């Protein structure tokens, strides 16, 4: 027995019932450090066993046993039996089969002590086992809890991951949709297309009307775009309404407020006024203007409640910037197009031909006066040539990088080309063509005029000097040729001399008329009077050719001329025509009004004028007639006279449908005069 | 009829004299103004042809100088290679009766017309005198 055990008091209690001979039970209990209770009563103390000492009364004994059992169903029960009792063992054991029965022949305390100690040991073991069991149970509970916790964590984590995956998926989807929207926006070229995209984009939202886009700039004024009811083909038609920049509602719409406006009273009254009906809820997104004057505002009319409005606003907030950029791009394109159109109009509006050309004479840009850009080279388009124009200095301009100027021909026109090198994407020159034919012609005319004046002066001077001896020569030859004293052969010679002298006189007369052409007095006359009076003279002169006249009414076609000189011109041309026509032929004279001009056409049915001399027939002393038949002054004088009257004279060939010449035509144009 | 031709162009003088001769008239000639003036005064011709433009002294000068000193007024024909209004007025101013433009188309016709006109003028004068 350990000292500490003694000190620590009883380790348990035993119940005792029956007769304790000589206090053996108490002694043994003491030795085994047990407390003992003599009644089988309930106690809170730790009971190790119940002992019943069996007396002779079996009935009493059974009663006791049942009481113990009832009160301590799990408590070990030991039945001590004295040998001396006459109880039938078989009956005893049958009654108490569940109990430990120990014969107590000669009751000694020492017999009980080991029993008690064994009880304590057993109890300790039991307690120990019980403790272990309890600990095990605790552990098991802890393990279960742990497992449960772990399961919970795993479930939570799994759920979280699933949520995250769902969110990620949702975000990816949102991003993908946004990317698609931006991509589609980038391909939109008109506001109408953008509005259609916006309409499509908000297809998942119901209870919202098609968008209204308000755009304004100081320059272009204000415009309101909105989609109307679906038109033909189910596509919503977009309508644009022009607004006066100064109107009140427009100023409200484009105020400086750049925040998203929900149920803004101004927006609502604006739309209500525009559509002529009450407007309930609105949300307006100003799209920002990046420093330009365009200020787009996107307005939706909807029937959402609070939460949906937020979702709708969030939905559009991320789309505002690309939308703003797309709208700005459309307007920039429009401005660019408008600006480009302006330059094109200016370029095409220049009356002189202008061409921007590459080194290889290929056109980059041509204005309308030059030609349409047919993709061919400049000389092919402009001058109808297969190689660069004569005198072209474009290569030099491009190599030297300095402007140059030259002249080229295009048919019968002469152009001055001013060429300037410019650097576009490649080496380029800009060529400016000026038609200088008129100037050259005028210059030619001036030279011609000076020549004519000099000829006139000279003619006047020499005419008199020649006239005198010629008069004598002709007259004397005439006189002698009729003198019968001379043989016939001599008189024939004299007649030849007279004829030669006569021709010489005619030349001198022409020269003298020519020299005095500018000094005549002009009068207001009708072209018809002049032509008709010429006709009398013409008809006498022409024997074999018919003359047909198609004249204006007598009162029309007034001109201010010297009628004698004009008659001279008409006669001269008709005479030429008559000489050109061999055999039968017709001369047609026609007068008519052509704007500010009075035209006289004189046409014949002769062989026409050879092309190679067409340009020279008005030159002085140019003639195709045989020597003595013409002075070469007739047409030059005619032109001199007509130009002195402020008119023009031109010669051309008439042609049939096959291009064959059917006669010559002279056209005299004189300024139409008004009676003062 | 006595006729005088004053012209610096010998061919003109000769041709006129020939025609006058053919027509049966007496013809005289002078090659310039001063000589013409002298012959005119001496011969007192009935018909005088005077060229306007001559070196030294012009036709109208000769006519205007000679006419006042004459007792018998002849028929004076002024001739010029410059035709036109001025020449005709010049002829009228100096007292000439008629103007002939050179060159002559038909010398016989020209001379015949001049003779005829001078005859008519003379008879008119005679009638006037009587």
Q: Which has more pLDDT, A122 or A347?
A: A347
Residues of A in Cβ contact (< 8 Å) with B81: 463-464, 467-468, 471
Residues of A in Cβ contact (< 8 Å) with B12: 468-469, 471-472, 475
| Domain A188-336 class in CATH | alpha beta
Q: What is the pLDDT of residue A154?
A: 92
What was the ipTM of the complex prediction? 0.77
Residue A279 has pLDDT above 70, yes or no: yes
Q: What is the pLDDT of residue A405?
A: 92
Mean pLDDT to the nearest integer, B22-31:
91
The position carrying tokens 């009257």 is A645
- 8 A C-beta contact, residue A84 and residue A41: no
H or E segment and range at residue A16: strand A12-18
| Domain A520-676 class in CATH | alpha beta
Q: What is the pLDDT of residue A112?
A: 76
pLDDT tens string A201-227: 888 888 888 888 887 766 666 677 777
pLDDT tens string A582-633: 777 888 999 998 888 999 999 998 888 888 788 778 876 666 655 445 555 6
CATH for A3-132?
Answer: 3.40.50.2300
- Rounded to 5 degrees, what angle do the CA atoms B77, B78, B82 make? 145
Q: Which has more pLDDT, A222 or A418?
A: A418
Residue A292 has pLDDT above 70, yes or no: no
- 8 A C-beta contact, residue A538 and residue A571: yes
Contact status of A470 with chain B (Cβ, < 8 Å): yes
Residue ranges of E strands in A19-135: 34-37, 47-54, 77-81, 100-103
Residues of B in Cβ contact (< 8 Å) with A512: 82
CA distance B8 to chain A (A): 9
Lowest mean pLDDT among A92-101, A114-123, B33-42: A92-101
Cα→Cα distances A142→A155, A605, B6, Å: 19, 136, 173
| Dist CA A77 CA A51 (whole Å) | 6
- 8 A C-beta contact, residue A50 and residue A77: yes
Identify the CA nearest to A630 among candidates A668, A579, A676.
A579
Determine whether the interchain pair A478/B108 forms a contact, defined as Cβ–Cβ distance below 8 Å.
yes
Lowest mean pLDDT among A73-82, A268-277, A546-555, B110-119: A73-82
SS3 A31: helix
Residue B16 has pLDDT above 70, yes or no: yes
Mean pLDDT to the nearest integer, A356-367:
88
pLDDT band at A579, cuts 50/70/90?
A: confident
Evaluate the CA torsion angle B60, B63, B66, B67 in order and state its sign. negative
| Dist CA A283 CA A195 (whole Å) | 16
| Dist CA A65 CA A77 (whole Å) | 8
Determine whether the interchain pair B103/A478 forms a contact, defined as Cβ–Cβ distance below 8 Å.
no
H or E segment and range at residue A405: strand A404-410
Determine whether the interchain pair A468/B12 forms a contact, defined as Cβ–Cβ distance below 8 Å.
yes
Contact status of A480 with chain B (Cβ, < 8 Å): yes
pLDDT band at A275, cuts 50/70/90?
A: confident
The mean pLDDT of chain A is 80
Q: Which CATH superfamily is domain B2-129 in?
A: Response regulator (3.40.50.2300)
Cα→Cα distances B79→A268, A331, B10, B118, Å: 111, 93, 14, 15
pLDDT band at A4, cuts 50/70/90?
A: very low
Domain chopping of chain A, boundaries? 3-132, 188-336, 350-427, 436-515, 520-676
pLDDT band at A411, cuts 50/70/90?
A: confident
Burial class (CB in 10 A: 0-12, 13-18, 19+), B59: buried
Give the gyration radius of chain B's Cα atoms: 13
- 8 A C-beta contact, residue A651 and residue A672: no
In sequence order, which ranges of B44-84 are alpha helices (DSSP H)? Answer: 59-66
Mean pLDDT to the nearest integer, A514-537:
75
Distance, CA of B91 to chain centre: 11
Does residue B103 have a cis peptide bond before it, meaning omega lies within 30 degrees of 0?
yes
Distance, CA of B114 to chain centre: 9
pLDDT tens string A101-149: 677 666 677 777 777 887 778 777 877 888 888 889 999 999 999 999 9
Backbone angles phi, psi at A227, to 5 degrees: -90, 135
Record the tokens describing residue A477, joined without a space. Answer: 């030859």
Helix pair angle (A563-580, A634-644), 10° resolution: 150
Residue A2 has pLDDT above 50, yes or no: no
Residue ranges of E strands in A259-394: 261-262, 281-286, 297-302, 354-358, 363-366
Contact status of A464 with chain B (Cβ, < 8 Å): yes
Q: What is the pLDDT of residue A470?
A: 84
| Dist CA A238 CA A227 (whole Å) | 4
Domain chopping of chain B, boundaries? 2-129
Q: Which has more pLDDT, A668 or A469?
A: A668
CA distance B18 to chain A (A): 7
Q: What is the pLDDT of residue B40?
A: 92
The mean pLDDT of chain B is 84
CA distance B87 to chain A (A): 13
The 3-class SS string of A186-227 reads HHCCCHHHHHHHHHHHCCCCCCECCCEEEEEECCCEEEEEEE
Lowest mean pLDDT among A90-94, A439-443, A594-598: A90-94
Give the gyration radius of chain A's Cα atoms: 69
Q: What is the CATH architecture assignment of A436-515? A: Orthogonal Bundle (1.10)
Picking from A472, A484, A485, A504 by the largest number of B CB atoms within 10 A of its own CB, the best residue to mutate is A472
Q: What is the pLDDT of residue A23?
A: 81
| Dist CA A81 CA A83 (whole Å) | 6
From the list A464, A473, A482, the residue facing B82 with the nearest CB is A464
Mean pLDDT to the nearest integer, B95-108:
83
Q: What is the pLDDT of residue A290?
A: 55
């Amino acid at each position: 027995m350990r000292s500490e055990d003694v000190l620590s008091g009883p380790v348990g209690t035993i119940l005792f019932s029956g007769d304790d001979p000589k206090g053996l039970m108490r002694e043994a209990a003491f030795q085994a450090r047990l407390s003992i209770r003599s009644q089988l009563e309930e106690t809170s103390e730790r009971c190790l066993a119940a002992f019943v000492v069996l007396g002779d009364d079996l009935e009493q004994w059974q009663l006791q046993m049942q009481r113990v059992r009832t009160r301590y169903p799990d408590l070990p029960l030991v039945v001590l039996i004295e040998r001396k009792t006459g109880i039938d063992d078989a009956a005893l054991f049958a009654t108490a089969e569940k109990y430990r029965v120990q014969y107590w022949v000669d009751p000694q305390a020492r017999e009980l002590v080991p029993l008690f100690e064994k009880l304590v040991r057993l109890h300790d073991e039991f307690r120990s086992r019980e403790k272990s069991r309890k600990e095990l149970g605790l552990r098991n509970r802890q393990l279960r809890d742990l497992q449960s916790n772990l399961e919970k964590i795993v479930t939570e984590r799994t759920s979280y991951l699933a949520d995250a995956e769902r969110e990620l998926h949702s975000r990816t989807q949102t991003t993908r949709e946004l990317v698609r929207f931006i991509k589609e926006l980038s391909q939109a070229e008109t506001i109408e297309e953008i509005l259609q995209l916006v309409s499509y984009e908000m297809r998942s939202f119901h209870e919202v009307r098609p968008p209204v886009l308000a755009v304004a700039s100081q320059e272009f004024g204000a415009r309101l775009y909105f989609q109307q009811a679906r038109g033909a083909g189910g596509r919503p038609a977009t309508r644009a309404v022009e607004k006066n920049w100064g109107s009140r509602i427009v100023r409200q719409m484009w105020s400086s407020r750049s925040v998203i406006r929900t149920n803004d009273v101004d927006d609502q009254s604006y739309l209500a006024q525009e559509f002529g009906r009450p407007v309930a809820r609105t949300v307006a997104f100003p799209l920002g203007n990046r420093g330009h004057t365009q200020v787009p505002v996107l307005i939706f009319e909807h029937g959402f409640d609070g939460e949906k409005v937020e979702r709708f606003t969030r939905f559009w907030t991320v789309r505002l910037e690309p939308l703003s950029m797309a709208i700005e791009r459309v307007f920039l394109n429009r401005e660019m197009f408008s600006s480009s159109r302006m330059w094109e109009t200016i370029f095409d509006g220049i009356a002189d031909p202008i061409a921007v050309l590459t080194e290889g004479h290929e056109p980059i840009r041509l204005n309308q006066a030059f030609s349409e850009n047919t993709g061919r080279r400049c000389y092919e388009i402009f001058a109808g040539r297969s190689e660069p124009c004569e005198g072209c200095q474009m290569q030099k301009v491009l190599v030297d990088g300095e402007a140059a100027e030259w002249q080229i021909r295009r048919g019968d026109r002469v152009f001055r080309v001013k060429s300037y090198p410019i650097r576009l994407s490649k080496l380029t020159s800009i060529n400016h063509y000026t038609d200088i034919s008129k100037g050259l012609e005028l210059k030619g005319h001036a030279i011609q005029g000076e020549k004519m004046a000099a000829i006139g002066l000279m003619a006047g001077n020499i005419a008199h000097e020649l006239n005198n001896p010629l008069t004598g020569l002709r007259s004397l030859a005439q006189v002698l040729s009729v003198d019968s004293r001379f043989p016939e052969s001599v008189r024939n010679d004299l007649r030849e001399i007279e004829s030669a002298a006569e021709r010489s006189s005619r030349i001198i007369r022409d020269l003298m008329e020519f020299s005095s052409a500018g000094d005549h007095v002009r009068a207001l006359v009708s072209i018809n009077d002049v032509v008709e009076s010429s006709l009398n003279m013409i008809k006498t002169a022409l024997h074999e050719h018919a003359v047909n006249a198609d004249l204006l009414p007598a009162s029309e076609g007034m001109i201010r001329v010297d009628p004698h000189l004009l008659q001279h011109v008409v006669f001269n041309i008709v005479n030429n025509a008559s000489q050109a026509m061999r055999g039968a032929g017709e001369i047609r004279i026609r007068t008519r009004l052509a704007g500010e001009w009075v035209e006289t056409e004189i046409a014949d049915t002769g062989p026409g004028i050879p092309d190679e001399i067409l340009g020279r027939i008005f030159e002085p002393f140019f003639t195709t007639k045989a020597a003595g038949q013409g002075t070469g002054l007739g047409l030059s004088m005619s032109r001199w006279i007509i130009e002195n009257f402020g008119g023009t004279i031109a010669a051309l060939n008439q042609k049939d449908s096959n291009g064959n010449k059917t006669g010559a035509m002279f056209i005299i144009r004189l300024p139409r005069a008004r009676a003062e | 009829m006595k006729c005088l031709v004053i012209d610096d162009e010998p061919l003109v003088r000769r041709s006129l004299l020939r025609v006058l001769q053919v027509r049966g008239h007496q013809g005289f000639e002078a090659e310039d103004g001063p000589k013409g003036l002298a012959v005119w005064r001496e011969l007192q011709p009935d018909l005088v042809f005077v060229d306007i433009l001559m070196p030294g002294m012009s036709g109208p000068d000769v006519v205007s100088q000679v006419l006042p000193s004459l007792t018998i007024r002849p028929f004076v024909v002024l001739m010029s290679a410059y035709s036109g209004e001025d020449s005709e007025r010049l002829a009228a101013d100096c007292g000439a009766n008629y103007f002939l433009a050179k060159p002559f188309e038909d010398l016989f016709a020209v001379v015949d017309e001049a003779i005829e006109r001078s005859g008519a003028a003379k008879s008119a004068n005679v009638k006037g005198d009587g």
